[in-house]
């Protein structure tokens, strides 16, 4: 079986580095590049940390590109500054140079180019906002044919969002952050005919990052990637943290581990509910990851990160 072509688009949160570390362990995936979106991060440390992780995992042939797109509703600085911490973790700084190449063109143009040159359709693994994807669709609408599907951590269908009123006064709490950062772009992607497989808060709420899980990772820290994963999770253990991007990425290598459910939805782009992925009869059909075996999932992570 040939490997599935995958282009990753992440937005530099702690969870995004962990998702990258998981993707790198998947044997049936050919990772064509990583685009970093300046959303849940500060972009320079996020790009540097991503390249250092690829170095550590032997991925120094994989190009990393810095996206120049902008959203309308910035992530809180409290979340974004974790990118500086990860970039300074000792295990990522044993060498004084980075081998993994930094693409010179903006990440959104890089995404377009990779898709245009691809010999077969590419799966987009998106663990941040959909802004780059909307950009490539606007630039070259025919590019849809080169996108096999979008696997996306985003949205909240039948549960509250995570854009909380105390962070964002005036909002009604229905939005998920990856949509809220740039609802217009999410709506643009919704206008396409591309297959969308969402990993919404509905399912990520079932996979919290627990103290027990982080301590289990610690017990296998003789493996460098477990050591790094444990450091990353320790950084966020005081927060209400979930395996958002990591669960979404798990789907790529293990689609049979998930039950999918179809929904008709629309993206609310303005007002107090902007960023809501609203379930409405007659709306755009998407598939959402609906169920996963939790104990299988945590065990899978522990096994994959034994490297």
Please report, as ranges, the residues that interact with Ca ion according to CB under 5 A.
Answer: 11, 13, 16, 127-128, 245
What separation in angstroms does the CA of 40 have from each of 208, 265, 291? 19, 25, 26
Q: How far is the CB of 142 from Ca ion (least distance, A)?
A: 28
H or E stretch at 10: strand 4-10
Radius of gyration of the chain (CA): 18
Locus of tokens 């998407």: 286
Comparison of 168 and 245: residue with beta carbon closer to Ca ion: 245
Residue 76: phi and psi, rounded to 5, are: -60, 140
Contact at 8 Å (CB) between 147 and 114?
no
Nearer to Ca ion, 177 or 258 (CB): 177
Q: How many CB atoms lie within 10 A of CB 91?
A: 14
**CB of residue 151 vs Ca ion: minimum separation in angstroms?**
13
In 127-257, DSSP assigns E strands to 147-153, 196-199
User: Smallest distance from the beta carbon of 83 to Ca ion, in angstroms?
Assistant: 11
Minimum CB separation of residue 128 from Ca ion in Å reads 5
**DSSP SS3 for 251:** helix
Nearer to Ca ion by Cβ, of 13 and 230: the residue is 13
Is the Cβ of residue 18 or residue 143 nearer to Ca ion in the bound state?
A: 18
Closer residue to Ca ion, CB minimum distance, 62 or 243? 243
Toward Ca ion, which CB reaches closer, 4 or 127? Answer: 127
Q: Could you tell me the smallest distance in angstroms from the CB atom of residue 288 to Ca ion?
A: 17
CB of residue 116 to Ca ion, shortest distance in Å = 26
* Cα–Cα dist 199/17, whole Å: 17
Tell me the residue ranges of DSSP E strands in 37-105.
64-66
What is the residue-wise DSSP string for 255-272? GGGEEEEEEEEEE--SGG
């Amino acid at each position: 079986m040939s490997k599935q072509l995958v282009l990753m688009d992440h937005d530099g949160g702690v969870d995004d580095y962990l998702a990258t570390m998981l993707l790198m362990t998947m044997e049936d995936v050919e990772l064509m590049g990583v685009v970093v979106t300046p959303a849940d991060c500060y972009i320079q440390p996020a790009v540097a940390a991503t390249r250092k992780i690829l170095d550590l995992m032997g991925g120094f042939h994989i190009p990393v590109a810095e996206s120049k797109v902008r959203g309308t509703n910035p992530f809180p600085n409290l979340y974004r500054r974790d990118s500086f911490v990860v970039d300074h973790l000792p295990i990522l700084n044993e060498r004084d140079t980075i081998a993994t190449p930094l693409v010179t063109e903006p990440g959104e143009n890089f995404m377009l180019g990779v898709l245009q040159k691809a010999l077969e359709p590419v799966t987009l693994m998106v663990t941040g906002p959909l802004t780059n994807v909307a950009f490539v669709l606007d630039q070259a609408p025919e590019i849809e044919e080169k996108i096999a599907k979008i696997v996306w951590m985003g949205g909240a269908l039948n549960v509250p969002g995570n854009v909380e009123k105390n962070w964002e006064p005036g909002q009604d709490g229905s939005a998920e952050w990856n949509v809220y950062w740039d609802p217009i772009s999410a709506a643009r992607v919704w206008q396409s005919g591309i297959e969308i497989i969402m990993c919404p808060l509905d399912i990520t709420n079932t996979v919290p990052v627990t103290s027990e899980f982080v301590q289990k990772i610690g017990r296998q820290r003789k493996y460098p990637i477990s050591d790094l994963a444990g450091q990353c999770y320790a950084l966020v253990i005081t927060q209400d943290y979930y395996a958002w991007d990591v669960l979404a990425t798990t789907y790529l290598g293990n689609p049979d581990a998930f039950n999918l459910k179809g929904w008709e939805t629309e993206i609310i782009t303005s007002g107090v509910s902007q960023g809501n992925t609203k379930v409405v009869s007659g709306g755009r059909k998407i598939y959402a990851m609906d169920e996963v075996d939790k104990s299988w999932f945590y065990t899978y992570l522990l096994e994959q990160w034994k490297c």
